[in-house]
């Protein structure tokens, strides 16, 4: 498989008053096209910082980040905006839907700025919401809202899908269903999906597991045989 993402000796420092905080310290990893990757680590380990740099929402203090044929660490502000808008789909813990737009409008609104976007209705059907297109977020359960958020990210037809604790606000069964949806999307579309979580039990569902500890890579492992989410309990 071809390499899609590379972090080369990436560090990130935040300066809060006098004391610098080293969120990432010399991080190296690669991710291939089509891979389902889980980034694991305790609270404060640096997981979200990795995801934010990968998504172009934050910049590395040093090191190099490559995605596809672009070096993110060299992009102008304008190109970075374009990268964020077109190449990356984001899914967050709290769905962040626009409350006064219905499910279909939420997906259309995000997708329309992207050149090669997918049909919003079709994408909502794929996530199991074809009968809820006209519902507003307040009329949907947490799991359904997260499905809309996933459809919104997928309909952009991005190069990669980044998910930060996507099941963090959901109960066990609903969270599992959302993970199954992400696993199925990865299988069907062969899009690269990166999931950040502190739940180490879901590691067997990934192609690659990147463990982060105190801003450094603790280990990188690959699963030759991935487990289906239905077969994992925690």
Ligand X SMILES: Nc1ncnc2c1ncn2[C@@H]1O[C@H](COP(=O)(O)OP(=O)(O)OP(=O)(O)O)[C@@H](O)[C@H]1O
Give contact residues for ligand X (rule: CB under 6 A): 14, 16, 21, 23, 41, 43-49, 198
Nearer to ligand X, 44 or 68 (CB): 44
Q: Which is nearer to ligand X, 1 or 94 (CB)?
A: 94
Q: Shortest Cβ distance from residue 16 to ligand X (Å)?
A: 5
Tell me, what DSSP letter sits at residue 119? P
Residue 95 CA to its chain's centroid (Å): 12
Helix count and strand count (H, E) for the chain: 6, 10
Residue 22 φ/ψ, nearest 5 degrees: -90, 100
Count CB neighbours of 99 within 10 A. 8
**8 A C-beta contact, residue 67 and residue 4:** yes
* Distance of closest approach, residue 198 Cβ to ligand X, in angstroms: 5
User: Measured from the CB of residue 97, what is the shortest distance to ligand X in angstroms?
Assistant: 21
Cβ-based neighbours of 32, under 8 Å, separated by 6 or more: 1, 2, 3, 4, 192
CB of 131 to ligand X, least distance (A): 34
Q: With contact defined as beta carbons under 8 Å apart, do 97 and 106 qualify?
A: yes
Q: Nearer Cβ to ligand X, position 218 or 230?
A: 218
| Residue placing its CB nearer to ligand X in the complex, 79 or 198 | 198
Q: Which is nearer to ligand X, 44 or 128 (CB)?
A: 44
- CA 129, 131, 136, 138 torsion: positive or negative? negative
- Find the shortest distance in angstroms from Cβ 24 to ligand X: 8
């Amino acid at each position: 498989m071809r390499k899609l993402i590379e972090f080369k000796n990436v560090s990130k420092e935040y300066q809060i008053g006098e004391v610098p905080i080293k969120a990432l310290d010399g991080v190296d990893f690669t991710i291939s096209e089509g891979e389902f990757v889980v980034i694991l680590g305790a609270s404060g380990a640096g997981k979200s910082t990795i995801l934010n740099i990968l998504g172009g929402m934050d910049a590395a203090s040093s090191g190099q980040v490559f995605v596809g044929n672009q070096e993110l660490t060299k992009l102008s502000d304008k190109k970075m905006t374009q990268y964020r808008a077109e190449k990356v789909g984001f899914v967050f813990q709290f769905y962040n839907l626009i409350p006064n737009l219905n499910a279909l409008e939420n997906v259309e609104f995000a997708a329309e700025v992207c050149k090669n976007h997918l049909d919003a209705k079709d994408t909502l059907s794929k996530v199991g919401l074809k009968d809820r297109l006209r519902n507003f977020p307040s009329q949907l359960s947490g799991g359904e809202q997260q499905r809309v958020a996933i459809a919104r990210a997928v309909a952009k037809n991005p190069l990669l899908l980044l998910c930060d604790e996507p099941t963090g606000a959901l109960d066990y069964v609903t969270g599992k269903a959302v993970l199954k949806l992400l696993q199925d999307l990865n299988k069907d579309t062969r899009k690269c999906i990166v999931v950040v979580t502190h739940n180490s039990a879901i590691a067997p569902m990934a192609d690659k597991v990147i463990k982060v500890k105190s801003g450094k890579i603790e280990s990188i492992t690959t699963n030759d045989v991935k487990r289906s989410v239905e077969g994992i309990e925690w």
